[in-house]
Structure 1
Amino acid sequence: MPTRNSFLRTLVIAAVVLLGLVAAPSAAFAAFTDTARANPQFSTASLAAPAAANVTMTCSFGIRATVTVNSFSTVANANYHDIKIFDRSGNLEFTGDLSKAAGKTYTSGYEVIGTWTYEIRGYYKVPGTSNTWTGKVLKGNLSC
């Protein structure tokens, strides 16, 4: 027959084990109350069209054209500018990088000259990525 001490000892052990089982899972839950805010690593910018450009076209015998960008207004926030030149049929003839001297002049092959158009645009090329933001275009007409 169990004695009174052994019964109490069993009851205390069972209570401690039960209390340990109930308290242990609550220790695994955590609550975080601190907040921190990071400054965003991005922003937005609007790239306007260049305000003005001085682009000339000279023709040789009406069958060969030379287009030269003498000057243009740079676009705020842009880190790259280009020109696209279209022939009288609207076909793209040339794309030039306006940061390089070679990108500022184009001489066509032999073809019928008429009224050509050009587009100058600023871009923001995001460093370290292939992302590019495209600005609005400045359009103009050229003729000899």
Structure 2
Amino acid sequence: MPRTRELIRTITALAAVLLAMMTAPAAALAIFTNVDRATSEYSAASIPAPATANVTMVCQNGGRVTITVNSNSTATYANYHEIKIYDRSGSLEFTGDLSKSTGRTYSSGPGHAGNRTYEIRGSYKVPGTTNTWTGNPLNGVLSC
């Protein structure tokens, strides 16, 4: 009788394994032969320098200078423009927001006559953040 029980157990185990193999999903085999490449949906823009600017400097008695941005072109992709004025030693003397009338004119104190350089630059200020993309400058020299 013990051999019969062993035989019944073996047959039952084999039946269970066969039943499990028949009801389990078969392994999938797939071969992909087509290649497709997606193009990117984004790009990065560089902000060029403004093309032109009309900047004048008036030298006054006592060594004062008044620098005025009469007009400037806008840089492509920029939503903000500024001017930076540097003294003859290359130190930053003034930064002006060109969207405001007060940012378009600079007057030095007495005894500060001499050549100046300037750069006008467009930037893109990302709305709702503190991030800014800065463009290339339009450079110029002013002399008394």
1:13 aligns with: 12
Query: Could you tell me which residue of structure 1 aligns to residue 92 of structure 2?
Result: 92
Partner of 1:122: 122
Give the aligned residue type for 2:59: C
CA distance in 2, matches of 1:128, 1:38: 29
Match of 2:63 in 1: 63
> What letter matches 2:88 in structure 1?
R
| Native 8 Å contact 1:88 1:113 kept in 2 | no
Aligned to 1:143: 143
- Give 1:134's aligned amino acid: T
**Aligned-residue CA RMSD in angstroms?**
3.2
Label 1:108 to 1:12 Cα distance change in 2 as closer, same or farther (>3 A): farther
Q: Is the 8 A contact 2:78 2:124 kept in 1?
A: yes
Q: Offset at 1:142? A: 1.4
Q: Distance in 1 between matches of 2:71 and 2:64?
A: 22
What CA distance in whole angstroms lies between the structure 2 residues aligned with 1:44 and 1:130? 18
Counterparts in 2 of 1:13 and 1:126: CA distance versus 1, 3 Å = farther
Q: Which residue of 2 aligns with 1:76?
A: 76
Identity of aligned residues (%): 59
Quote the Cα distance in structure 2 between the aligned partners of 1:131 and 1:112: 35
The one-letter amino acid paired with 1:143 is S
Residue ranges of structure 1 left out of the alignment (5+ in a row): none
C-alpha separation between the residues in 2 aligned to 1:13 and 1:60?
111
Structure 2 unaligned blocks of 5 or more: none
The letter for the 2-side match of 1:120 is: I
Contact 2:65 2:112 in 1 (8 A): no
Q: How far did 1:20 drift?
A: 4.4
Q: Give the TM-score, by structure 1 length.
A: 0.75
Distance 1:13 1:103, change over 3 A: farther
* TM-score (structure 2 length as normaliser): 0.75
Work out whether residues 119 and 137 of structure 2, in 8 Å CA contact, stay in contact via their aligned partners in 1.
yes
